[in-house]
Amino acid sequence: MDMNVGVIGSGTMGTGIAQVAASSGCKVKIYDNQPQALEKCRKSIQGSLQKMLEKGKISQNEAEQLFGRISFIGDLTALNDSDIVIEAIIENIAVKSTLFSNLEHIVSENCILASNTSSLSIASIAASCKKAERVIGIHFFNPAQLMQLVEIIPAIQTSDATTEQALRIISSWNKIPVLAKDTPGFIVNRLARPFYGEALRIYEEGIADFATIDHAMKHFGGFRMGPFELMDFIGNDINYTVTESVFTAFYFDPRYKPSFTQKRMIEAGYLGRKSGRGYYDYAEGAAMPKAAEDESLGKDIFARILVMLINEAAEALHLNIATARDLDLAMTKGVNYPKGLLHWANEIGIDFCVDKLDELYHNYHEDRYRCSVLFRKMKAEGRKFEIN
Protein backbone atom coordinates (compact mmCIF):
# COMPACT_ATOMS: atom_id res chain seq x y z
CA MET A 1 0.00 0.00 0.00
CA ASP A 2 1.63 3.26 -1.18
CA MET A 3 1.22 5.74 1.67
CA ASN A 4 3.09 8.08 3.99
CA VAL A 5 3.73 6.55 7.39
CA GLY A 6 4.99 8.34 10.47
CA VAL A 7 6.60 6.38 13.31
CA ILE A 8 7.28 8.07 16.64
CA GLY A 9 9.98 6.51 18.76
CA SER A 10 13.14 4.94 17.34
CA GLY A 11 13.57 2.17 19.89
CA THR A 12 13.29 -1.52 19.10
CA MET A 13 9.56 -1.43 18.31
CA GLY A 14 9.62 1.82 16.35
CA THR A 15 12.58 0.60 14.31
CA GLY A 16 10.82 -2.66 13.52
CA ILE A 17 7.52 -0.99 12.57
CA ALA A 18 9.35 1.45 10.28
CA GLN A 19 11.09 -1.41 8.50
CA VAL A 20 7.82 -3.34 8.11
CA ALA A 21 6.07 -0.34 6.54
CA ALA A 22 9.01 0.44 4.24
CA SER A 23 9.18 -3.21 3.16
CA SER A 24 5.61 -2.86 1.91
CA GLY A 25 6.42 0.14 -0.29
CA CYS A 26 5.45 2.92 2.12
CA LYS A 27 7.41 6.13 2.58
CA VAL A 28 8.34 6.23 6.26
CA LYS A 29 9.46 9.05 8.53
CA ILE A 30 10.71 7.91 11.90
CA TYR A 31 10.86 10.61 14.58
CA ASP A 32 12.83 10.79 17.79
CA ASN A 33 13.92 13.82 19.82
CA GLN A 34 17.21 12.08 20.67
CA PRO A 35 19.75 12.27 17.78
CA GLN A 36 21.79 9.37 19.16
CA ALA A 37 18.67 7.18 19.27
CA LEU A 38 17.94 8.01 15.62
CA GLU A 39 21.48 7.12 14.65
CA LYS A 40 21.21 3.81 16.49
CA CYS A 41 17.94 3.17 14.63
CA ARG A 42 19.58 3.94 11.28
CA LYS A 43 22.42 1.50 11.99
CA SER A 44 19.98 -1.15 13.22
CA ILE A 45 17.97 -1.03 9.99
CA GLN A 46 21.15 -1.08 7.89
CA GLY A 47 22.36 -4.09 9.86
CA SER A 48 19.04 -5.88 9.43
CA LEU A 49 19.06 -5.27 5.67
CA GLN A 50 22.65 -6.50 5.45
CA LYS A 51 21.67 -9.77 7.13
CA MET A 52 18.77 -10.17 4.71
CA LEU A 53 21.18 -9.54 1.82
CA GLU A 54 23.60 -12.16 3.09
CA LYS A 55 20.79 -14.70 3.41
CA GLY A 56 19.62 -13.94 -0.12
CA LYS A 57 16.20 -12.71 1.04
CA ILE A 58 16.53 -9.41 -0.83
CA SER A 59 18.76 -8.04 -3.57
CA GLN A 60 21.18 -5.13 -3.24
CA ASN A 61 18.80 -2.97 -5.28
CA GLU A 62 15.82 -3.91 -3.09
CA ALA A 63 17.79 -3.13 0.06
CA GLU A 64 18.79 0.28 -1.25
CA GLN A 65 15.23 1.08 -2.33
CA LEU A 66 13.82 0.00 1.03
CA PHE A 67 16.33 2.05 3.00
CA GLY A 68 15.73 4.99 0.66
CA ARG A 69 12.06 5.04 1.65
CA ILE A 70 12.96 5.74 5.30
CA SER A 71 13.72 9.23 6.62
CA PHE A 72 15.09 9.89 10.11
CA ILE A 73 13.72 13.13 11.54
CA GLY A 74 14.07 15.18 14.70
CA ASP A 75 11.23 17.60 13.96
CA LEU A 76 7.72 16.38 14.79
CA THR A 77 6.11 18.86 12.38
CA ALA A 78 7.73 16.96 9.48
CA LEU A 79 5.00 14.32 9.97
CA ASN A 80 2.42 16.74 8.55
CA ASP A 81 1.95 14.73 5.32
CA SER A 82 1.38 11.38 7.07
CA ASP A 83 -1.59 9.15 6.22
CA ILE A 84 -1.04 7.22 9.46
CA VAL A 85 1.18 7.87 12.48
CA ILE A 86 2.09 5.03 14.85
CA GLU A 87 3.65 5.92 18.19
CA ALA A 88 5.97 3.48 19.93
CA ILE A 89 7.21 5.42 22.93
CA ILE A 90 7.30 4.91 26.71
CA GLU A 91 4.30 3.11 28.27
CA ASN A 92 3.02 6.17 30.10
CA ILE A 93 -0.54 7.33 29.53
CA ALA A 94 0.18 11.00 30.31
CA VAL A 95 3.12 11.16 27.90
CA LYS A 96 1.17 9.44 25.12
CA SER A 97 -1.89 11.66 25.64
CA THR A 98 0.22 14.82 25.39
CA LEU A 99 1.85 13.53 22.21
CA PHE A 100 -1.48 12.71 20.54
CA SER A 101 -2.92 16.09 21.48
CA ASN A 102 0.09 17.79 19.86
CA LEU A 103 -0.10 15.58 16.77
CA GLU A 104 -3.64 16.77 16.01
CA HIS A 105 -2.27 20.23 15.25
CA ILE A 106 0.32 18.81 12.84
CA VAL A 107 -1.35 16.11 10.72
CA SER A 108 -4.36 16.34 8.41
CA GLU A 109 -7.89 15.59 9.61
CA ASN A 110 -7.86 12.27 7.74
CA CYS A 111 -4.62 10.98 9.26
CA ILE A 112 -5.04 7.91 11.50
CA LEU A 113 -3.33 8.22 14.88
CA ALA A 114 -2.32 4.84 16.28
CA SER A 115 -0.68 3.67 19.49
CA ASN A 116 1.53 0.59 19.74
CA THR A 117 0.79 0.29 23.46
CA SER A 118 0.70 -3.27 24.75
CA SER A 119 -1.92 -2.76 27.44
CA LEU A 120 -2.84 0.89 28.09
CA SER A 121 -6.37 2.18 27.50
CA ILE A 122 -6.91 3.32 23.92
CA ALA A 123 -10.02 5.22 25.07
CA SER A 124 -7.87 7.30 27.44
CA ILE A 125 -5.39 8.11 24.68
CA ALA A 126 -8.21 8.95 22.24
CA ALA A 127 -9.79 11.27 24.82
CA SER A 128 -6.80 13.60 24.44
CA CYS A 129 -7.84 14.32 20.83
CA LYS A 130 -10.66 16.51 19.54
CA LYS A 131 -11.17 14.08 16.68
CA ALA A 132 -11.06 10.93 18.81
CA GLU A 133 -12.71 8.79 16.14
CA ARG A 134 -9.43 8.55 14.19
CA VAL A 135 -7.45 7.13 17.14
CA ILE A 136 -6.85 3.36 17.38
CA GLY A 137 -4.50 0.82 18.92
CA ILE A 138 -2.18 -1.07 16.55
CA HIS A 139 -0.05 -3.38 18.67
CA PHE A 140 2.90 -5.11 17.01
CA PHE A 141 4.94 -7.86 18.64
CA ASN A 142 8.70 -7.93 19.02
CA PRO A 143 10.53 -8.29 16.68
CA ALA A 144 8.00 -6.54 14.45
CA GLN A 145 9.88 -7.53 11.28
CA LEU A 146 9.39 -11.24 12.06
CA MET A 147 6.25 -11.61 14.17
CA GLN A 148 3.14 -12.01 12.03
CA LEU A 149 0.50 -10.95 14.53
CA VAL A 150 -0.77 -7.39 15.03
CA GLU A 151 -3.59 -6.59 17.48
CA ILE A 152 -6.03 -3.92 16.25
CA ILE A 153 -7.80 -2.24 19.16
CA PRO A 154 -10.54 0.30 18.48
CA ALA A 155 -11.53 2.52 21.40
CA ILE A 156 -15.21 3.19 22.06
CA GLN A 157 -14.64 6.52 20.27
CA THR A 158 -13.00 4.94 17.19
CA SER A 159 -15.05 5.06 14.00
CA ASP A 160 -15.79 1.93 11.97
CA ALA A 161 -14.05 3.57 9.02
CA THR A 162 -10.83 3.98 11.04
CA THR A 163 -10.95 0.35 12.18
CA GLU A 164 -11.56 -0.94 8.66
CA GLN A 165 -8.74 1.20 7.27
CA ALA A 166 -6.34 0.00 9.99
CA LEU A 167 -7.20 -3.63 9.20
CA ARG A 168 -6.58 -3.02 5.49
CA ILE A 169 -3.25 -1.29 6.12
CA ILE A 170 -1.91 -4.03 8.39
CA SER A 171 -3.06 -6.78 6.01
CA SER A 172 -1.30 -4.98 3.13
CA TRP A 173 1.90 -5.05 5.22
CA ASN A 174 1.76 -8.88 5.13
CA LYS A 175 0.76 -9.14 8.77
CA ILE A 176 -2.10 -11.04 10.41
CA PRO A 177 -4.43 -8.58 12.17
CA VAL A 178 -6.78 -9.65 14.98
CA LEU A 179 -9.49 -7.42 16.39
CA ALA A 180 -9.54 -6.97 20.18
CA LYS A 181 -11.76 -5.09 22.61
CA ASP A 182 -10.12 -2.20 24.46
CA THR A 183 -9.57 -4.02 27.77
CA PRO A 184 -6.34 -4.43 29.80
CA GLY A 185 -3.76 -6.59 28.02
CA PHE A 186 -5.98 -6.85 24.91
CA ILE A 187 -5.65 -10.52 23.82
CA VAL A 188 -2.09 -11.80 24.13
CA ASN A 189 -0.91 -10.03 27.28
CA ARG A 190 -4.15 -11.02 29.01
CA LEU A 191 -4.36 -14.65 27.95
CA ALA A 192 -0.65 -15.32 28.55
CA ARG A 193 -0.63 -14.24 32.22
CA PRO A 194 -1.25 -17.76 33.65
CA PHE A 195 1.72 -19.14 31.67
CA TYR A 196 3.94 -17.11 33.97
CA GLY A 197 1.74 -16.64 37.04
CA GLU A 198 0.79 -20.28 37.55
CA ALA A 199 4.36 -21.45 36.92
CA LEU A 200 5.57 -19.04 39.60
CA ARG A 201 2.85 -20.25 41.97
CA ILE A 202 3.85 -23.89 41.42
CA TYR A 203 7.46 -22.97 42.24
CA GLU A 204 6.47 -20.95 45.32
CA GLU A 205 4.50 -23.91 46.66
CA GLY A 206 7.62 -26.06 46.42
CA ILE A 207 6.04 -28.47 43.95
CA ALA A 208 8.88 -28.18 41.41
CA ASP A 209 11.92 -26.08 40.53
CA PHE A 210 12.35 -23.78 37.52
CA ALA A 211 13.98 -26.40 35.30
CA THR A 212 11.33 -29.05 36.01
CA ILE A 213 8.46 -26.67 35.28
CA ASP A 214 10.11 -25.48 32.06
CA HIS A 215 10.76 -29.07 30.99
CA ALA A 216 7.12 -30.02 31.63
CA MET A 217 5.79 -27.24 29.39
CA LYS A 218 8.24 -28.04 26.58
CA HIS A 219 8.14 -31.83 26.74
CA PHE A 220 4.43 -32.40 27.37
CA GLY A 221 3.05 -29.19 25.88
CA GLY A 222 5.34 -28.60 22.93
CA PHE A 223 6.10 -24.99 23.93
CA ARG A 224 9.34 -23.66 22.44
CA MET A 225 10.40 -22.16 25.76
CA GLY A 226 9.31 -22.81 29.32
CA PRO A 227 7.85 -19.96 31.40
CA PHE A 228 11.07 -19.24 33.32
CA GLU A 229 13.22 -19.38 30.19
CA LEU A 230 10.77 -17.01 28.52
CA MET A 231 10.65 -14.59 31.44
CA ASP A 232 14.46 -14.49 31.41
CA PHE A 233 14.37 -13.87 27.66
CA ILE A 234 11.75 -11.09 27.87
CA GLY A 235 13.28 -9.57 30.99
CA ASN A 236 11.85 -10.04 34.48
CA ASP A 237 11.37 -6.30 34.86
CA ILE A 238 9.32 -6.04 31.66
CA ASN A 239 7.27 -9.18 32.35
CA TYR A 240 6.52 -8.13 35.93
CA THR A 241 5.49 -4.62 34.86
CA VAL A 242 2.96 -6.02 32.37
CA THR A 243 1.53 -8.38 35.02
CA GLU A 244 1.29 -5.58 37.59
CA SER A 245 -0.35 -3.29 35.02
CA VAL A 246 -2.97 -5.90 34.06
CA PHE A 247 -3.58 -6.78 37.74
CA THR A 248 -4.17 -3.13 38.66
CA ALA A 249 -6.28 -2.41 35.58
CA PHE A 250 -8.56 -5.36 36.38
CA TYR A 251 -9.29 -3.94 39.84
CA PHE A 252 -6.90 -6.42 41.49
CA ASP A 253 -8.53 -9.57 40.18
CA PRO A 254 -6.55 -12.43 41.83
CA ARG A 255 -6.23 -14.23 38.49
CA TYR A 256 -3.55 -11.69 37.53
CA LYS A 257 -1.83 -11.32 40.91
CA PRO A 258 1.93 -10.64 40.53
CA SER A 259 4.49 -12.84 42.25
CA PHE A 260 6.82 -11.84 45.10
CA THR A 261 9.38 -14.26 43.65
CA GLN A 262 9.55 -12.25 40.45
CA LYS A 263 9.54 -8.95 42.35
CA ARG A 264 12.51 -10.06 44.46
CA MET A 265 14.37 -11.16 41.33
CA ILE A 266 14.00 -7.65 39.95
CA GLU A 267 15.07 -6.06 43.23
CA ALA A 268 18.18 -8.26 43.20
CA GLY A 269 18.96 -7.19 39.64
CA TYR A 270 18.31 -10.68 38.27
CA LEU A 271 16.53 -9.50 35.14
CA GLY A 272 17.35 -12.49 32.94
CA ARG A 273 19.60 -12.85 29.93
CA LYS A 274 20.23 -9.11 29.62
CA SER A 275 21.72 -8.92 33.13
CA GLY A 276 23.50 -12.28 32.93
CA ARG A 277 21.32 -13.85 35.59
CA GLY A 278 17.64 -14.47 36.16
CA TYR A 279 15.97 -17.73 37.08
CA TYR A 280 19.04 -19.24 35.45
CA ASP A 281 22.70 -18.22 35.49
CA TYR A 282 23.88 -17.14 32.03
CA ALA A 283 27.52 -16.56 32.97
CA GLU A 284 30.03 -18.26 30.71
CA GLY A 285 30.59 -21.84 31.85
CA ALA A 286 27.61 -21.86 34.23
CA ALA A 287 25.83 -25.22 34.32
CA MET A 288 22.12 -25.26 33.58
CA PRO A 289 20.14 -27.18 36.23
CA LYS A 290 18.54 -30.49 35.28
CA ALA A 291 14.84 -31.16 35.43
CA ALA A 292 13.46 -33.84 37.75
CA GLU A 293 12.74 -37.05 35.87
CA ASP A 294 9.20 -37.55 37.12
CA GLU A 295 6.66 -38.07 34.33
CA SER A 296 3.63 -37.91 36.61
CA LEU A 297 4.79 -34.60 38.12
CA GLY A 298 5.54 -33.16 34.68
CA LYS A 299 2.09 -34.06 33.36
CA ASP A 300 0.40 -32.54 36.43
CA ILE A 301 2.35 -29.28 36.01
CA PHE A 302 1.50 -29.07 32.32
CA ALA A 303 -2.21 -29.81 32.88
CA ARG A 304 -2.49 -27.21 35.66
CA ILE A 305 -0.91 -24.40 33.64
CA LEU A 306 -2.74 -25.37 30.45
CA VAL A 307 -6.24 -25.34 31.96
CA MET A 308 -5.52 -21.96 33.53
CA LEU A 309 -4.53 -20.63 30.10
CA ILE A 310 -7.59 -22.19 28.47
CA ASN A 311 -9.88 -20.80 31.17
CA GLU A 312 -8.55 -17.31 30.47
CA ALA A 313 -9.29 -17.77 26.75
CA ALA A 314 -12.80 -19.04 27.51
CA GLU A 315 -13.48 -16.05 29.76
CA ALA A 316 -12.21 -13.66 27.07
CA LEU A 317 -14.59 -15.25 24.56
CA HIS A 318 -17.43 -15.05 27.07
CA LEU A 319 -16.80 -11.32 27.53
CA ASN A 320 -16.53 -10.69 23.75
CA ILE A 321 -12.90 -9.56 23.90
CA ALA A 322 -12.40 -11.17 20.48
CA THR A 323 -13.76 -13.95 18.29
CA ALA A 324 -12.73 -17.55 18.91
CA ARG A 325 -10.74 -17.45 15.67
CA ASP A 326 -8.86 -14.29 16.66
CA LEU A 327 -8.19 -15.53 20.19
CA ASP A 328 -6.53 -18.67 18.86
CA LEU A 329 -4.70 -16.83 16.07
CA ALA A 330 -3.33 -14.34 18.58
CA MET A 331 -1.69 -17.02 20.70
CA THR A 332 -0.26 -19.10 17.85
CA LYS A 333 0.98 -16.14 15.78
CA GLY A 334 1.71 -13.66 18.58
CA VAL A 335 3.54 -15.82 21.12
CA ASN A 336 4.14 -19.01 19.14
CA TYR A 337 1.92 -21.31 21.21
CA PRO A 338 1.88 -24.80 19.66
CA LYS A 339 -1.93 -24.71 19.41
CA GLY A 340 -4.74 -22.22 19.85
CA LEU A 341 -6.05 -22.43 23.42
CA LEU A 342 -9.69 -22.99 22.44
CA HIS A 343 -8.66 -25.64 19.90
CA TRP A 344 -6.62 -27.25 22.68
CA ALA A 345 -9.70 -27.23 24.95
CA ASN A 346 -11.72 -29.07 22.30
CA GLU A 347 -8.87 -31.57 21.94
CA ILE A 348 -8.39 -32.46 25.60
CA GLY A 349 -12.10 -32.13 26.41
CA ILE A 350 -14.29 -29.44 27.95
CA ASP A 351 -15.19 -31.83 30.77
CA PHE A 352 -11.51 -32.34 31.64
CA CYS A 353 -10.91 -28.57 31.77
CA VAL A 354 -13.92 -27.86 34.00
CA ASP A 355 -13.15 -30.77 36.33
CA LYS A 356 -9.49 -29.75 36.66
CA LEU A 357 -10.44 -26.14 37.44
CA ASP A 358 -13.01 -27.30 40.01
CA GLU A 359 -10.36 -29.53 41.60
CA LEU A 360 -8.01 -26.56 41.90
CA TYR A 361 -10.76 -24.35 43.32
CA HIS A 362 -11.78 -27.06 45.82
CA ASN A 363 -8.17 -27.37 46.99
CA TYR A 364 -7.42 -23.65 47.26
CA HIS A 365 -10.79 -21.89 47.60
CA GLU A 366 -9.24 -18.91 45.79
CA ASP A 367 -11.08 -16.86 43.19
CA ARG A 368 -7.96 -17.25 41.05
CA TYR A 369 -9.23 -20.73 40.09
CA ARG A 370 -12.85 -19.88 39.33
CA CYS A 371 -14.12 -21.62 36.21
CA SER A 372 -15.54 -19.47 33.42
CA VAL A 373 -19.34 -19.61 33.27
CA LEU A 374 -19.02 -20.27 29.55
CA PHE A 375 -17.11 -23.47 30.31
CA ARG A 376 -19.84 -24.62 32.69
CA LYS A 377 -22.55 -23.99 30.11
CA MET A 378 -20.59 -25.83 27.43
CA LYS A 379 -20.03 -28.85 29.68
CA ALA A 380 -23.73 -28.97 30.58
CA GLU A 381 -24.74 -28.74 26.92
CA GLY A 382 -22.02 -31.05 25.61
CA ARG A 383 -20.68 -28.36 23.25
CA LYS A 384 -17.24 -27.58 21.86
CA PHE A 385 -15.78 -24.25 20.83
CA GLU A 386 -16.64 -23.22 17.28
CA ILE A 387 -13.49 -21.81 15.70
CA ASN A 388 -13.99 -20.53 12.16
**Cα distance between residue 356 and residue 380, in whole Å:** 15
Torsion angle (degrees, nearest 10) of CA 75, 76, 82, 83:
160
Indicate whether 114 pLDDT > 90: yes
Write the DSSP symbol of residue 148.
-
pLDDT in tens, 24-41: 999 999 999 999 999 999
**Cα distance between residue 119 and residue 188, in whole Å:** 10
Among the listed residues 10, 118, 121, 239, the single catalytic one is 118
pLDDT in tens, 217-261: 999 999 999 999 999 999 999 999 999 999 999 999 999 999 999
- Minimal CA–CA distance to 242: which of 139, 161, 317? 139
Q: Residue 361's pLDDT is what?
A: 97
Q: Residue 388's pLDDT is what?
A: 80
User: What are the residue ranges spanned by the domains of the chain?
Assistant: 4-179, 189-388
Fold of the domain built from segment(s) 189-388: N-(1-d-carboxylethyl)-l-norvaline Dehydrogenase; domain 2 (1.10.1040)
What is the amino acid identity at position 58? I
Equal CATH topology for 4-179 and 189-388: no
- What is the rounded average pLDDT of the residues 300-329? 98
Among the listed residues 24, 48, 97, 189, the single catalytic one is 189
Q: What is the DSSP string of 191-255?
A: HTHHHHHHHHHHHHTTS--HHHHHHHHHHTT--SS-HHHHHHHH-HHHHHHHHHHHHHHTTT-GG
37 and 114 Cβ atoms separated by less than 8 Å: no
Active site residue 139: yes
| Residue 188: HSE in the Cβ half-sphere, 13 Å Cα cutoff | 25
Indicate whether 375 pLDDT > 70: yes
Among the listed residues 139, 239, 311, 343, the single catalytic one is 139
Q: Band the pLDDT of 347: cuts 50, 70, 90.
A: very high
Indicate whether 157 pLDDT > 90: yes
% of the chain residues with pLDDT over 70 = 100
Q: Which residues of 47-65 are buried (b: 16+ CB within 10 A; e: fewer)?
A: ebbeebeeeeeeeeeebee
- What is the rounded average pLDDT of the residues 331-343? 96
Q: Residue 1's pLDDT is what?
A: 67
- Whether CATH 3.30.950.10 fits 4-179: no
Other Cβ atoms less than 10 A from the Cβ of 9: the count is 24
Q: Which residues of 76-100 are buried (b: 16+ CB within 10 A; e: fewer)?
A: beebbebbbbbbbbebeeeebbebb
- What is the rounded average pLDDT of the residues 6-22? 95
Active site residue 151: yes
Active site residue 118: yes
Active site residue 198: no
Q: Residue 79's pLDDT is what?
A: 97
Indicate yes or no: pTM above 0.85: yes
pLDDT in tens, 138-148: 999 988 999 99
Backbone angles phi, psi at 176, to 5 degrees: -105, 105
